[in-house]
Structure 1
């Protein structure tokens, strides 16, 4: 081998090594952020619980809705919902052999961090038919600390799903985004005006009179409660929880598992 070819081979090897190191560093950063998010959620829950204890002593859950009445209301399933009682939301990959199930609480700060880090790549993987992506919504924070934001935001997402799966997908991402996800001890999602304000950033929802009517009327409140019941029946105790082919995956290992499924992080 000539001296020139030898130098070029060495440079190519160094470049491959550099790229691989950068790739591994990126994966490790995501793992650390997910681990920190999971570790601090318990502390945040305690802090949030103190705040809610103060704000809910008078029986005011931050919403004018009668969720007790919603339990007895007629079930209206959103268009594009699937499964028993429409509680399955599929965001792509319906013909894929693999399944990824994501269990979230819309008020959960760890879920927001999770979505900000991995939400878009996971949705892209489903769009590319790497797997079927199913979204499940719970209301753990509402139940433990009071308020109704988890339920109310789920109902608003039902209204978005009634418009289209794409509208649901985009709105779901925005509700978890750094710009719009409120602190855990602020039950902003109980406020329809706040939810509608966020929805203005989604083309299909902006100025959509039927969507606005459904949010304000609570058309999909019963559906949201059925979704939450389905979540609880799955035995989920903490969020976010991710299952691949029915098996719970440690969030610290999720980036590696997703790459094995062909997801580009």
Structure 2
């Protein structure tokens, strides 16, 4: 083999190795951004709106009645909707807004993993519903969707309807979820949810005050944005290497102890 051919093959191998390293680095950045990008998105909004964001969801008019928690609500002051086995070794606490695109990004990336772990009995999830985007951009979609989700909990259909709401999330500036008719239409995607009781709960805003209390508790907790996700008390957004696979590994390791 000529020296020229040997040099050509060596250069080709070097180029291939370089491309592989570039791909590995890109994959690593992409995995980290599953969580990282969402944080930037929410914090960027909060920085723009300032005090307005801090006060969102806190309106309690004279017409507001006592907070009516949905069936089975748990956690401190019954402000969480639980999913999974109560005695599961690991607990994931989530603060979410159905209008929040970063929340949808989290759900898209982690949903199948969370479902797998809750169904296996190794993870319990506690969902706290927040109205951050209503305050950031105006409108009422965060509140209306959260109330409807609480109504679905009354019917024992929260996990399914929760996922439907995120799948149907409009553009952040589009307040489509403020329409109760839209929320009821989406209930058709969940078997046996669209009932007279569910419709009345949605239209009457049965859980509006409870949602506002949940949002106030979120802000009092000093959290910086949505989604906030705590696994066994630790904020997973502080770990830039977090991925669904690592999340699963942590939960399964806890279950094996």
- Shorter-chain TM-score category? 0.7 to 0.9
Question: Is 1:31 matched up with 2:21?
Answer: no
Structure 1 residues 142 and 25, CA gap change in structure 2 (3 angstroms): same
- Which SS does the other structure have where 2:252 is aligned? coil
- The equivalent residue for 1:68 is 61
Q: Is the CA contact (8 Å cut-off) linking 1:76 and 1:222 kept in structure 2? A: yes
Aligned partners of 2:164 and 2:133: how far apart in 1? 19
Aligned partners of 1:234 and 1:105: how far apart in 2? 16
Q: Is the CA contact (8 Å cut-off) linking 1:126 and 1:132 kept in structure 2? A: yes
Question: Is 1:174 matched up with 2:164?
Answer: yes
Q: Unaligned stretches of 5+ in structure 1?
A: 1-23, 54-65
Larger radius of gyration: 2
Q: What TM-score comes out, normalization by structure 2 length?
A: 0.75
| 1:37, distance to aligned residue in structure 2 (A) | 3.6
Question: Is 1:191 matched up with 2:183?
Answer: no
- Tell me how large the CA RMSD over aligned residues is: 3.1
Q: Is the CA contact (8 Å cut-off) linking 1:158 and 1:223 kept in structure 2? A: no
Question: Is 1:108 matched up with 2:100?
Answer: yes
Q: Unaligned stretches of 5+ in structure 2?
A: 1-24, 53-58
| 1:249, distance to aligned residue in structure 2 (A) | 1.6
Q: Is the CA contact (8 Å cut-off) linking 2:73 and 2:81 kept in structure 1? A: yes
Alignment coverage as a number of residue pairs: 221
| 1:84, distance to aligned residue in structure 2 (A) | 4.3
Listed as ranges, the matches of 1:18-97 within 5 Å are: 29-41=30-42, 45=45, 68-69=61-62, 72-97=64-89
- The equivalent residue for 1:138 is 130
Question: Is 1:124 matched up with 2:116?
Answer: yes
Listed as ranges, the matches of 1:183-222 within 5 Å are: 183-206=171-194, 208-222=195-209
| 1:184, distance to aligned residue in structure 2 (A) | 0.6
Q: Is the CA contact (8 Å cut-off) linking 1:78 and 1:161 kept in structure 2? A: yes
Q: What TM-score comes out, normalization by structure 1 length?
A: 0.73
| 1:258, distance to aligned residue in structure 2 (A) | 2.9
